[in-house]
Every structure is written in C-alpha cells, then in structure tokens.
Amino acid sequence: MKKAIISGFLAVIAAVTLPTAAFAHVVVTPKETSPAQRLVFNVSVPNEKTAAVTNLKVLIPDEVTSVTPTSKDGWTITTTKNADSEVTSITWTGTIPAGERQDFSFSAQAPATPTEIAWKAYQTYADGSVVHWDQAPTGDHESDDAGPYSITKIVSNISDTKNSEQDSSEIWGAYVIAGLALVVSVGAFVRKK
C-alpha cells in the first residue's frame, strides 16, 4: 500500500514538472497584451548545455517601438537602431553558468493594432556554439542548434483569449501524464491487495 501511494505521488510530481522541463527555451513574456500598451517584456534564458552562456541577442520587430533595455548587473548591453533611431536588436553580454537561468527585460510599446509579435533570439555559448531561437513554433523544427521563437499576441480584449501563460499542448500533455500516473497507481494498489 505504501509503495503504491509513493509511486502515485512521484508520478504526479513528474506529471507536473515534465511539461515545464520539455519547453525550457528562451521565452519572451507576456504571451498577450493590449494594443499600444507600454509594458515590460521579460526574457527568460536557461542554460541547457555544459558551456556557459556568454551572449543573448533578441531581435526587435519593426512594429515594436520605444524600446529601452533594463540594466543588469554583470552584463553589458548593446543595441542596434534603424534610420528612425528605433531599436532593432538588444544584445546582453555576460555569463550564465551551466544549469542556471537568468531573466532579462526591456520596456517597449506594443503595436497599435491586433497582431502577433515574433521574438527571435540567439543564444551564444563559451564554446562558440549558437542556438537560434528563430524557427516557427508550428511543426517539429527543433534541433541542438535551433528551436521555436516566442510569440506575444496583441489582442483587443485579453479576457476573450484562453490561457495566456501556457500553450494548450503543454496543458494536455500534463493531463495525459497525470492520467497515466493515476492508472499506474491504481494498478499498483489493486495488485498489492
């Protein structure tokens, strides 16, 4: 009986944590915002390799304006600008040790009309390798050196949209794993009796 309860408990923990671990990429949030809103965007950067991350570059789409990066201790920030003096990319240079993550941020004004912002990012490691987070999130394009970019949806009414913080695929994946964990636990309990 004890073993069945413990195995069920461990399976539920795995169900909750595995979907998050499977999607540990460079992610820009929020996932949704209102048109023309001025806000702070957060860039979450995990180091999933053995070499340190030394550089992060985020491309700023044309429709995003008034960009101001947030200073970060231990990191140097450089920007590139277009002819209108609008920021087109932000590069942070510093160190994220293996197995750790850091958050970066910048303020900006969202586009004035409903659309989707594609956040393409490039993560450089101390060994010279670069992971390109510039692939369309649909389909299976992920490899060791490329993965999907983040999207922020600009929507007229945020309350009408579903689950702004997680993709439905992540939620359903968690349900499937939790269901399998329940079946395994019940099976172990019945077999024990």
pLDDT computed for residue 25 by the predictor? 84
Strand pairing class (150-154; 32-33): parallel
pLDDT computed for residue 166 by the predictor? 47
- CATH topology for 25-161 is Immunoglobulin-like (2.60.40)
Reading the block at residue 47, the tokens are 């180091």
CA-based nearest residue to 90, from 104, 103, 101: 104
Q: CA–CA distance from 6 to each of 12, 125, 176, 182 (Å)?
A: 10, 40, 19, 12
Residue 165, pLDDT score? 43
| Domain extent listing, the chain | 1-23+167-193, 25-161
DSSP 17: H
Ranges under pLDDT 50 in the chain:
4-23, 160-166
Helices 168-192 and 2-22, axial angle in degrees (round to 10): 170
Q: Could you give the CA distance from residue 98 to residue 19 in angstroms, rounded to a whole number?
A: 21
State the pLDDT at residue 143. Answer: 65
Q: What is the pTM of this model?
A: 0.70
What pLDDT does residue 160 have? Answer: 46
Q: What is the pLDDT of residue 83?
A: 96
Best CA proximity match to 132, nearest among 141, 64, 88: 141
